[in-house]
């Protein structure tokens, strides 16, 4: 399965994430930007720790990531250490451009790690 998701992510600029609503228990999907490093996928919520999907994965730390018809369900690890978050944001800047990341991500106090292995 890991190879399938790696192949599905090749050349993709955004993925569809599905999280469990913390109040409703319903599945909620959003398109998001992502970066890969080693055997992990990293996400940065647009409004940081205020993002609804981030609050949802804090309550239920499971996520589904889908790209090109392939989906992976995995646990998530919230990242709150400022140095680690900044590293992920730097990866976003390298992939999407510093100006766009700075425009679209006004608050980056957290990130999310998703193992792909």
Say if residue 1's pLDDT is above 70: no
Q: What is the CATH number of the domain that holds 62?
A: 2.30.110.10
**Into how many domains does the chain fold?**
1
Residue 84 in tokens: 């680690």
In tens, the pLDDT along 17-37 reads 999 999 999 999 999 999 999
3-class DSSP assignment, residue 78: strand
Mean pLDDT (the chain) is 94
DSSP strand E in 1-117: where? 14-20, 27-33, 35-37, 40-43, 62-67, 70-75, 77-79, 111-115
- pTM of the complete model: 0.94
């Amino acid at each position: 399965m890991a190879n399938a998701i790696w192949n599905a992510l090749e050349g993709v600029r955004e993925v569809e994430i599905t999280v469990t609503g913390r109040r409703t228990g319903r599945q909620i999907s959003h398109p998001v930007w992502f970066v890969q490093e080693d055997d992990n996928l990293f996400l940065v919520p647009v409004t940081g720790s205020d993002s609804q999907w981030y609050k949802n994965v804090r309550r239920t730390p499971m996520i589904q990531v889908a790209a090109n018809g392939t989906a992976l369900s995995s646990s998530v690890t919230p990242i709150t250490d400022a140095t680690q978050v900044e590293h992920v944001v730097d990866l976003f800047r390298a992939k999407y451009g510093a100006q766009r990341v700075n425009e679209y991500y006004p608050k980056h106090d957290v990130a999310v790690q998703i193992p792909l292995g």
